[in-house]
Amino acid sequence: MLAPAFLMVGCTTPAAYPSLLPRAAESQALTEPAPAAPTPPAADPALDATLADIQRTLAEQTAAFDAASGRAEAAVAAARGAPAGSETWLDAHVALAALDALRAATSELATRVDDLASERALALQPDYSALDTMADRVRVEVQRQAEQIAALQGRLAPA
């Protein structure tokens, strides 16, 4: 009979149990703060002058390509139906080679713009919207020229 009494005393003795209320660390928000708005890059007059030079060169090369494209179009039209190796067929290929050389010059501009962007990135400078815009313009022009050359080549008899 003594044993049940000890058990009852053990159950009724006050003890220091931890609280079940949330701790301070459990109620903290773990979300990251919103990033600060990016500051616009400072004007870069030297880069702006280089981009203006690239724009002028692009316009000149585009005009030269378009003029040569007209000549190549006429040469390809003259070679339509001509067998591979004929005089008109060779003339058309020479005109297409001239177009390809002009496209390569435009492609060099794309490389130059990409190099400017790489130098800027290596210097940990922020993006420069005028540089990005110029890169897009040059890439679009290179793509247009390549597609035009491919379309003209497709109209010639295979070698």
Q: Percent of the chain at pLDDT above 90?
A: 61
Q: What angle do CA 121, 134, 129 make, to 5 degrees?
A: 55
38 inside domain: no
pLDDT 10s digits, 47-69:
999 999 999 999 999 999 999 99
Alpha helices in the chain (DSSP H): 2-12, 45-78, 87-122, 129-154
How many separate domains does the chain show?
1
124 — alpha (psi -120 to 50), left (phi > 0) or beta?
left
Query: What average pLDDT does this structure show over 74-99?
Result: 91
Q: What is the pLDDT of residue 7?
A: 56
pTM equals: 0.72
Angle of helix 129-154 versus helix 87-122 axis, rounded to 10? 160
Residue 1 resides in a domain: no
pLDDT at 11 over 90: no
Q: Is residue 148 part of a domain?
A: yes
Asked whether residue 10 is domain-assigned, the answer is no
Kindly state the tokens that stand for 6: 């000890």
For 32-47, the pLDDT digits (tens) are 888 887 777 788 899 9
Q: Is residue 24 in a domain?
A: no
